[in-house]
Structure 1
Amino acid sequence: MINKGFYCLLACLFSLLFSFSQTKKDSTSIDIEESPIIANETLIKTEIDPLRPAKAAFYSAVLPGLGQAYNKKYWKIPIVWGAIGAGIYFYVRNDNQFNRYRDAYKSRLAGFKDDEFFNVISDDGLVRAQEQFRRNKEMSLLITFGLYALNIIDANIDAHLLQFNVDENLSLSPHYQYNQLENTSDLGLTLNFKF
């Protein structure tokens, strides 16, 4: 009785013998290297600057819109200036209205009867108007600071996303292929990750 290990060893030796016999080259064959040929000109490698988001945020903090210019998103600069400018405009407008009603109320308390609202608004109306414009002024200031912070956050996030790799070597794409052997179609997703 010959054991199974002997038969396996014999089969391995025969396959090794036949594999060496396959190395003989034909005179008509063309020798092609198996490694892929990649031109160095087609590979564009950009270095990731870890301080780029911090620089963009700092520039936007110094001057709103400067971080967007640093990220080369010039179309965002008028939006940033318009948003912060609108907040400042409403703050100044509400502050002026508050001062008008406060000055009229102070003059009435001093006994003067020549303010601009004398026969139009009562003393209680002047107090309510002051409270309303103070609230509007504080809300405008809060919204302006929020828009200023949003400007900084936008510059920071945009700088992060500019360094995100969206190369063809990293891709997820739908896959459709017709299988001729089985006369069916295959549908799926292809994930490419090349180094």
Structure 2
Amino acid sequence: MKIVKLSILLIILAINACAQVIIEERDTTSLDREQTEQLTFSRREISPVKATMMAAALPGLGQVYNRKYWKIPLVYAGFGALGYSIIRNSQNFDGYLGAYQDITDNVPETRSYEKYTPSFDSGEIDPALGADNYNPQTHSWVKDQMLNAISYYRRYRDLSYIGVGFWYILSILDANVDALMADYDISPELSLSVDPVPIGTVYGPTMGLGIKVTF
């Protein structure tokens, strides 16, 4: 094990001899007490439980607590993308579902399917219109395509909802792991201590502080 001692000299110089003696006596008394104590550094402690609870209460709040501010845009970008996917897939699902209902309800006035079948004449695919050019095969094919579209958009809408739940859990786990790693030390033998050390100067003996790093 290696020990590296880095000494930081804290020397107080006096202008006259009287002032010098007073300062030395006061410092000696103070540092004598410090010799029986080890100076420690305090740091902000991060609680994994608190980080987890905050992330669960509001996405991104756990990252704020951990001071991982750069992750907050990523958290909300994920929710934004999934939210957009839900909206778009829901709109298309509702649209194709309504079109399928209109083309099969035998009501001439309901023609929302025309939005999705611009290449076909309404009379050709809607039997309710009683048009001469009605084609049962075309009608059946259009219905099948609409059913496929309904199934497609419903599937991806549901997957988007699942994705929101997954992303929510992932953001909580991220906050928890960050909080746990905040106190992780890759070198368990690494230590740092600060101790008073005697220093000899031209004005007489005084005291300084020594930083000892052990690894």
Q: TM class, shorter-chain normalised?
A: 0.5 to 0.7
Q: State the Cα RMSD in Å.
A: 2.7
1:57 positional shift: 1.0
Looking at structure 1, the residues matched to 184 and 118 of structure 2 have their Cα atoms a distance apart, in angstroms, of: 66
Select 2:169's aligned residue among 144, 149, 162: 149
Structure 1's consecutive aligned runs of 4 or more residues displaced over 6 angstroms after TM superposition are none
Q: Does 1:63 align with 2:62?
A: no
Looking at structure 1, the residues matched to 166 and 99 of structure 2 have their Cα atoms a distance apart, in angstroms, of: 32
Looking at structure 2, the residues matched to 38 and 166 of structure 1 have their Cα atoms a distance apart, in angstroms, of: 30
**Runs of 5+ unmatched residues, structure 2:** 1-34, 121-141, 192-213
Looking at structure 1, the residues matched to 59 and 93 of structure 2 have their Cα atoms a distance apart, in angstroms, of: 28
SS at 2:41's partner residue? Answer: coil
Bigger relative contact order (CA 8 A; separation at least 6): 2
**Runs of 5+ unmatched residues, structure 1:** 1-36, 172-191
- Counting matched residue pairs gives 134
After TM superposition, the structure 1 = structure 2 runs for residues 1-195 of structure 1, keeping only pairs within 5 Å, are: 40-41=38-39, 43-46=40-43, 52-111=47-106, 112=108, 114-115=111-112, 116-120=115-119, 122-165=142-185, 169-170=189-190
Partner of 2:137: none
State percent identity of aligned pairs.
Answer: 33
- Give me the TM-score of the superposition, normalised by structure 1: 0.60
- Give me the TM-score of the superposition, normalised by structure 2: 0.55
1:70 positional shift: 0.6
Looking at structure 1, the residues matched to 158 and 36 of structure 2 have their Cα atoms a distance apart, in angstroms, of: 62
1:170 positional shift: 2.1
SS at 1:93's partner residue? Answer: helix
Looking at structure 2, the residues matched to 63 and 86 of structure 1 have their Cα atoms a distance apart, in angstroms, of: 18
